[in-house]
Structure 1
Amino acid sequence: MRESLIRFLTPRSKREAIKLVALCTIVAIAATIVVDYPFVLALGAGLTMIFTSAVLIPLTLAPPMTWFVAEAARRKNEMKQELERLICIDPLSGALNRRGLAAFEQSVFREGGAKAALSAANRLCDSA
Structure 2
Amino acid sequence: MPPDIHPLPDSVTPYFVYPFTLEPHVLTLEASRRSTLSAHAARREAYLKSREDEKERRKREALRRIAPGFEPSSTPLVPMKRDSAHPPTESSSEPMHLQSKSVMDELVDQLAALDSNFKP
Q: Please, what TM-score do these two structures have when normalized by structure 2?
A: 0.40
Q: Please, what TM-score do these two structures have when normalized by structure 1?
A: 0.38
Structure with greater helix share of residues? 1
Higher relative contact order (CA 8 A, sep 6+): 1
